[in-house]
Structure 1
Amino acid sequence: MSRPEPFGARLRRAMDERGPLCVGIDPHAALLAEWGLNDDADGLERFSRTVVEAVADRVAVLKPQSAFFERFGSRGVAVLERTVREARAAGALVVMDAKRGDIGSTMAAYAASYLHRDAPLFSDALTVSPYLGYGSLEPAVELAREHGAGLFVLALTSNPEGAEVQHAVRPDGRTVGATVLAHLAAENAGEQPLGSFGAVVGATLGDLSSYDLDMGGPLLAPGIGAQGARAADLPAVFGAAVRNVVPNVSRGVLRHGPDVAGLRDAAARYADEIRAAVGSG
């Protein structure tokens, strides 16, 4: 039996057809309240289904934040399963934002939870942390390859605390973040039109010209909208790699709910702005 089409190829096609926008599904308590929903599993389900109904048939990527579902226990995880299933059925690629990172059999179990096609939470890609050593991610890398999924590895994140690890300089003179990017370049070598192993790189970080971001895979870029970055900033931040950037917008879209038309209009505006910026890059 042949292997499924790789995530990178599917992502490239989705970005070309729908535009390079990722909408986050972040149902935190304050946002549920703004939508007039209860902070419980029922409110969570109404929120998530509304977002999927509004944009899953028109944006390239949806990114549910697992923590906001897990806080409601088994009922919340059941909502997450349905959200993933319905979003993928509508044509969106799903990146599970769970930031898993562990070693050995535990990492293998995390990988099986999200990257095995028979898993209830199977997603097109998973965010992972390499800070137990990049090699600790090998079970996830192997399973992603087998099942046509992808990974987004934390490399240069936008939170201020990340710098103390990611910008630390190794004995070879290379920063930890640059080392992560180099590992990803090796994973993606020879893959066309886009590798399946991407990096998380904040759109708020400014000039990153000292880093080789053109590593053959996608760059998941949080920070557009509420965090202060603009679509027009993308070429300056990402340089030659800008065409492979998947900008994530969460609150900038979600604050227009629960009105479906409002959510769609906001997503369309961001998609147009991003498409124009990437085209100019």
Structure 2
Amino acid sequence: MSLEPFGARLRRAMDERGPLCVGIDPHASLLGDWGLNDDIAGLERFSRTVVEALAERVAVLKPQSAFFERFGSRGIAVLEKSVEEARAAGALVVMDAKRGDIGSTMAAYAETFLRKDAPLFSDALTVSPYLGYGSLKPAVDLARESGAGLFVLALTSNPEGGEVQHAVRGDGRDVGATMLAHLAVENAGETPLGSFGAVVGATLGDLSSYDLDINGPLLAPGIGAQGATAADLAGVFGAAVRNVVPNVSRGVLRHGPDAVALRASAERFAEEIRAAVGAA
């Protein structure tokens, strides 16, 4: 049986736990800051600590696959366990893998992360549409079948993204806007929230020229270490702010390895975001 659609589960989790996504980003410098070695034991300790501290409290955890993949098969095993334990504790897991390819290769990526019985099955997956939005069809189809979701790169916060995302098509609409329009079609008629979201940076300033009302979630990196604050969200996202899933990674993770401090930081961010969204 498929799960209840991701969008419905995400809306409930954000309403109950607060609209916050915390990244699990075990890069070498952060392991060092925690007093851990940059090895499989450090990776395992880091990931277990974050999951145990936060998975029962935050709406979403977002492991960055690359930081696990760099350790080979043993790192993937840690990632599998982290995903399993986070989901068992009630957090939704968004796998940040940014996969994007064509045909059978895209289908294989989808099977890896979106098939219900896959070891790395996640509630949602980040994907790159820059081989054409239609190339994502295998992931879209399997996500629907499994009750999972996607977050499609649309307006990212990295400066280099503009050369692709702001490129203007023949119809006068830029590529980022085109991705948002595709997602609005995917989510049409879904309640209380569609399952196909966009990645839109919280550091981008006024986005009123874009139609962010896609009836789906907007995963928003940039809060905390990248400089954006909860108070900025309404100005960036306007009327779509209630559907924003702000992502904080270093802003929370820098408080580890103390589990109490990790929880306190996540709770502060969640409350600040809830207050900002409620006031918008």
Cα distance in structure 2, aligned partners of 1:105 and 1:233: 41
TM alignment of 1:183-222, pairs within 5 A: 183-222=182-221
2:151 match: secondary structure:
strand
Superposed CA deviations along residues 77-111 of structure 1, whole A, max 9, x for unmatched, are 00000000000000000000000000000000000
Query: Could you tell me which residue of structure 2 aligns to residue 27 of structure 1?
Result: 26
Letter in 2 for 1:42: A
Query: Could you tell me which residue of structure 2 aligns to residue 162 of structure 1?
Result: 161
Where do 4+ consecutive residues of structure 1 move more than 3 Å? none
Note the residue ranges of structure 2 that are not aligned, 5 or more in a row.
Answer: none
TM alignment of 1:30-179, pairs within 5 A: 30-179=29-178
Cα distance in structure 2, aligned partners of 1:223 and 1:236: 14
Letter in 2 for 1:60: A
Cα distance in structure 2, aligned partners of 1:42 and 1:182: 44
1:207 match: secondary structure:
coil
Residue 29 of structure 1: how far off its partner (Å): 0.1
Query: Could you tell me which residue of structure 2 aligns to residue 226 of structure 1?
Result: 225
Query: Does residue 246 of the first structure (1) align with residue 262 of the second (2)?
Result: no
The alignment's C-alpha RMSD in Å is 0.5
Query: Could you tell me which residue of structure 2 aligns to residue 276 of structure 1?
Result: 275
Letter in 1 for 2:83: V
Cα distance in structure 2, aligned partners of 1:25 and 1:60: 14
TM-score by length of 2: 0.99
Residue 4 of structure 1: how far off its partner (Å): 2.5
TM alignment of 1:7-18, pairs within 5 A: 7-18=6-17
Equivalenced residue count is: 280
Note the residue ranges of structure 1 that are not aligned, 5 or more in a row.
Answer: none
Query: Could you tell me which residue of structure 2 aligns to residue 257 of structure 1?
Result: 256
TM-score by length of 1: 0.99
Residue 3 of structure 1: how far off its partner (Å): 3.9
Identical positions, percent: 85
1:227 match: secondary structure:
coil
Letter in 1 for 2:139: A
Query: Could you tell me which residue of structure 2 aligns to residue 4 of structure 1?
Result: 3
Residue 267 of structure 1: how far off its partner (Å): 0.3
